[in-house]
Amino acid sequence: MMKKKLTVCCITILFYIGTVFSAYAADAGGAKSYTLENVVKEPYLSQLKSERKIRFVHNQNDLQLKLLPESAYSDRVAANKVEKKSGYITECLYLVNKDDIGKKKTDGTGSDTSMTSIAHILRSISKMEGMEYYSNFYKKTLVLYSRTYMIAGPDDDTPVSDKNTGNADGQIVYTYQHDHTFGGCKYVINYYQSANEIYATFNNITKMMFGIIKAVDPHQFRANMLIMDCGQQYLVYISTDIGCPRVEMIDRQINNAFNDRLDALYTWFISQF
């Protein structure tokens, strides 16, 4: 009888220790599992499930993000905004099945759809060269970036190889991209990664030109890309926030140019698997 009681007591203690350890690990920043229903709320949840994509183009005075999912990085995304008197904000949500992007290769194996693979893709800046997009202004497909690569630093334009190995959390890189609409521009990209999500933020460190017109001052363009593992699906959130004057003569063209980039970035990302 004493032996039986001792066994029960040991099992109880081990169970308690396991429970406390699990809770501690979660509080200490352990991986958080997501379900689509927990991170996207109505009325957007039903629409996203049905259409697989939602776009929200903000009007001039609407600065509150509408589509941002609930994530460990949500506060970072919300804080990565441009203080401005005028400009543009657009958000997009995409829902993609892992089976759709994990297509079979010629050798019969499936593509790697792990978060490690996603971190590699998002840091493969040179792979963006030749990226195409559909211009809603010109009504045709154009090349978005004719040249794109990482550079040695904010004041050193020496091209360097993509720094795309290992965990991306806390990584900072600098890039040069020659854009169809805005010409050559340098950016700083910050990466944050956990087991179930990765977040990249883009910030222009040089001005963006529209022909001979200065369209955007340094640090007045922000782009966010957040990818969350929701079981059999990935939830992809992309947004742009730009502070600049809205000139009536070119307003529609500038707005379209920024909006077209969201779909182009998502399409490029999916094509990399």
Give the pLDDT mean for 162-167.
97
Question: pTM value?
Answer: 0.86
Is the pLDDT at 265 greater than 60? The verdict is: yes
Is the pLDDT at 10 greater than 90? The verdict is: no
- Cis ω for the linkage preceding 43 (within 30 of 0): yes
Q: Which two tokens stand for residue 271?
A: 């094509």
- What residues contact residue 100 under an 8 Å CB cut-off, 6+ apart? none
pLDDT score of 17: 37
Q: pLDDT-derived band of residue 22, with 50, 70 and 90 as boundaries?
A: very low
* DSSP assignments along 162-224, one per residue: ----S--TT-EEEEEEEETTTEEEEEEEEEEE-SSEEEEEEEESS-EEETTEEEE-TT-EEEE
Q: pLDDT per residue over 47-94, tens digit each?
A: 999 999 999 999 877 889 999 999 999 999 999 999 888 899 999 999
Query: By the 8 A CB rule, do 234 and 273 touch?
Result: no
Give the pLDDT mean for 162-169.
97
Give the pLDDT mean for 226-235.
96
Q: pLDDT per residue over 185-225, tens digit each?
A: 999 999 999 999 999 999 999 999 988 889 999 999 999 99
Q: pLDDT per residue over 88-118, tens digit each?
A: 999 999 999 999 887 755 566 678 899 999 9
pLDDT score of 2: 45
Distance CA 62, CA 67 (A): 13
